[in-house]
Structure 1
């Protein structure tokens, strides 16, 4: 049994299969999930687990070279906007419709229980060396 880190078996396995350049969409409970990517649905109840909790756990395990979020997050969800700006100084913002289009190319979608709007980010995996 793992001692620490992500204990969810499907999520840990999916993360182990990611490579350089692969996309990981971390999304709120309302984000439409495209056909194609593997999906690990962590949503339990509204707000549980939160976007911030899941994102922080993923960032402990992943090397991220880029991140994209919806422009709308700035006005609709200032807390998520601050979190994203703090974690990703080079954050790219695009219209929400464009983020949904880009998410179709993700390798993995991790759905949270977040119930605040626009708490979504598309991560681009990097390498540790």
Structure 2
């Protein structure tokens, strides 16, 4: 049995399949999930697991070369905006509708139980070398 890292077998397996340039959408419970990408739905109850907890766990496992979020997060969810700015100094901000359109090209969607608006980020995988 694994003793550390992401224990959810569906998520751990999906992460192991990612390669350079693949996109991963980490989203709140209300984000429309596009048809096509593999989905690992971690939502249990409103707020559980949180966007911050899931993002932290993913960042421990993945190399990220860029990140994109909706500019609406700054006003509607300052806590998520601060977290994203701390994690991604070069965060690209786009309109929420554009983020939804971009998410259709994701290889993986990780849905959290987050119940605050605009807690969504589209990650682009990098390489460790």
Interval of TM-score (by shorter of Structure 1 and Structure 2): over 0.9
What are the Cα deviations for residues 49-90 of structure 1, in whole angstroms up to 9, with x where unaligned? 000000000000000000000000000000000000000000
Q: CA RMSD in A?
A: 0.2
Gaps of 5+ in 1: none
- How far the C-alpha of 1:3 sits from its partner, in A, is 1.3
Give the match for residue 91 of structure 1: 91
TM-score if structure 1 supplies the norm length?
1.00
Give the match for residue 69 of structure 2: 69
Give the match for residue 57 of structure 1: 57
Gaps of 5+ in 2: none
What secondary structure, in the 3-state scheme, does the structure 1 residue paired with 2:93 have? strand
TM-score if structure 2 supplies the norm length?
1.00
Partners of 1:30 and 1:3 lie apart in 2 by 31
What secondary structure, in the 3-state scheme, does the structure 1 residue paired with 2:40 have? strand
Paired residues in the alignment total 129
What are the Cα deviations for residues 64-123 of structure 1, in whole angstroms up to 9, with x where unaligned? 000000000000000000000000000000000000000000000000000000000000
